[in-house]
Amino acid sequence: MLHDIATIRRTETRSISPENPDGARGGGGRATDGTGAESARDLGPGWKVSPSVDVAPGATYDLAGITGPGRITHLWITTHTDHWRTLVLRATWDDADEPAIEVPYGDFFCSGWGRFAQVSSQVVAANPNGGFNSYWPMPFRRNAHLTLENTSTVPARVYFQVTYELGDVGDDAAYLHAQWRRSNPLPDGETHVLLEGVEGRGHYAGTYLAWGANAPGWWGEGEIKFWIDDDTDHPTICGTGTEDYFGGAWNFDVPGQGYTAFSTPYLGMPQVIRPDGLYDSQQRFGMYRWHLADPITFRTGLPRVDIQALGWRSGGRYLPLHDDIASTAFFYLDRPTAARPPAPTHDAMEVHLGSGAAPRAS
C-alpha cells in the first residue's frame, strides 16, 4: 500500500502549512503576519513569521484544501496535550456531503488519553513531545478538504504541515476512512462496536483502542469479530482474545514487570497508564493493530466489527465488563462516504482530568 521508494514518481510534490496555506508553487515563506511575527520583527519576511495558527473556541479551521487528483502522503501536526481530546480532525474527499475521517485529534495518532507515549509504527508515529505523524496514504480524485474543529472553551495553537503529491492516482485507488466510537461505560452484556453498516468494496486497515479498565483483574479476554459481505448470524473472522489481536499474549504480562508496553511497525501497546494512588485510580491502555500486510478485504461491505470486554469471575467463568472503550477504525473504501456514527462531541471525547485542572490556551 505504501509507495515503492525506488519508483520514479510522475507527480508534483506540494505542502500546506501556515507559511504556505494553499500549497502553491513558490508560495512558501511569504507571510508578513502570523503567530511568529513579533519574534521575527528584526528579521522580516521569510523568517518564520507564520509557523502556527490559533483555532478559536467552537471554531473549525481549514487545514488544507487541495484540488486533485492526488494523494496526501504525510501529515505532521502538534498542539498542547490539553487539546488532544478536544480537537476533531476531519477529511472529506471529492466534494462529498460527509467526512470520511472524523476522529478526535489524539486518537487518530494513537494518543487518546491526552498523555504522551512513543508510537513507532509504519503509518503513525508519535514522537516527543507530541509530534504526531501520519503516513496513511490518502488518495483523492477531484479534491481533498482537511479541517480541525475546536470543541473546547479555550483557543488551541496548532502547528502543522500537510504534504501531498498531485497526479493520477489510478482507477483502483480507494478512499481512507476513519471512524471513532466510545462506550463509556460499556453497557451490561453488550459488545463494543467499531464499525457498522459499511457498504462497498474495500479493506479494513487498522484499529486503535484507548481502553480504560473499570474493574480490578484482567480485562482483555474478549474476542474481536469481523462480519464480512453477506455475514448475518455469525462472523467470518473471530479472534481468540484482545491481547492476541494486538499481537501480544498472556495478558501482556512479563513476569516481574507486569503490563509491558511495546511498539512495532504493525502492532503495539505503546501506552500503559498505571494507578497513582490518587487521581489515576484506573488502569488505562493504548493499543494499535495495522492490517497493512494482512488487510481484511470485503466485496460488498462490512456489516459489523465489534469486540468483547471480558474478565474472569470465580470458577473459571468469564465476567462481562463495563469498561471505557474508545475505538478508531481505519478502512479503505471504493467511495468517499460510508455509514458512520454521530460526530464526536466535547463531552463524549472528554478525558476526565484527575487534578481538576482546566485546559489551557496554548
CATH number at residue 327: 2.60.120.1390
Could you please report the per-residue DSSP string of 106-129?
Answer: HHHTT-TTSS---EE-SSEEEETT
Query: Which pLDDT does position 6 carry in this prediction?
Result: 72
Amino acid at 178: A
Question: How many Cβ atoms sit within 10 Å of the Cβ of residue 217?
Answer: 11
pLDDT digits over 34-60, tens only?
999 999 999 988 999 999 999 999 999
Say what the pLDDT of residue 357 is: 47
pLDDT at residue 2, as a whole number: 53
Poorest-pLDDT segment among 119-128, 274-283, 303-312? 274-283
pLDDT at 61 (0 to 100):
98
For 288-317, what is the mean pLDDT? 98
Confidence bin at 5 (pLDDT 50/70/90):
confident
Pairing status of strand 101-104 against strand 175-183: parallel
Confidence of residue 356 (pLDDT cuts 50, 70, 90): very low
261 falls in which pLDDT band (50, 70, 90)? Answer: very high
What pTM did the predictor assign?
0.96
Question: Residue 6: inside a domain, yes or no?
Answer: no
Would residue 362 count as lying in a domain? no
Question: Of all residues in the chain, what percent carry a pLDDT higher than 90?
Answer: 92
Q: Which of helix, strand or coil describes residue 44?
A: coil
Q: Is residue 20 situated within a structural domain?
A: yes
Average pLDDT over residues 17-43: 94
With CA atoms as reference, report the closest residue to 326 among 78, 106, 76, 146.
106
Question: 359 lies in a domain?
Answer: no
The helix (run of H) or strand (run of E) holding residue 243 is helix 242-245
Please answer whether residues 225 and 302 qualify as being in contact, where contact means their C-beta atoms are separated by less than 8 angstroms.
Answer: no
What are the cell numbers at 308? 468483547
354 part of a folded domain: no
Q: Are 180 and 103 in contact (CB under 8 A)?
A: yes
Separation of alpha carbons 187 and 295, rounded Å:
30
Range of the structural domain that residue 270 is part of? 12-349
Place of cell 502547528: 159
Q: Please provide residue 234's backbone torsions phi and psi, each rounded to the nearest 5 degrees.
A: -135, 150
The neighbouring-strand residues paired with 286 are 210, 271
Is residue 84 within 8 A of residue 286, CB to CB? The reply is: no
User: What does the angle CA 161 – CA 135 – CA 88 come to, to the nearest 5 degrees?
Assistant: 60
Please give the average per-residue pLDDT across 185-210, as a whole number: 98
By 3-state DSSP, what share of the chain in percent is helix, strand and coil, each rounded to 5? Answer: 5, 40, 50
**Residue 339: inside a domain:** yes
Which amino acid would we find at residue 23? G
Q: How many domains does the chain have?
A: 1
CB-count exposure of residue 239 (10 Å: 0-12, 13-18, 19+): middle
Amino acid 8: pLDDT: 83
Are 311 and 177 within 8 A, CB to CB?
no
Within the chain, residue ranges assigned H as helices are 105-108, 242-245, 346-349
Average pLDDT over residues 225-250: 98
Q: Cα angle at 242 between 240 and 248, to 5 degrees?
A: 90
Q: Is 323 helix (H, G, I), strand (E, B) or coil?
A: coil
Q: What are phi and psi of 236, to 5 degrees?
A: -80, -40
Q: How far apart are CA 146 and CA 160, in angstroms?
A: 12
Question: 205 in a domain, yes or no?
Answer: yes
Mean pLDDT computed over every residue of the chain:
95
Residue 40 lies in a domain: yes
Is the pLDDT at 4 greater than 70? The verdict is no
* pLDDT at site 17: 97
Contact 288, 120 (CB under 8 A): no
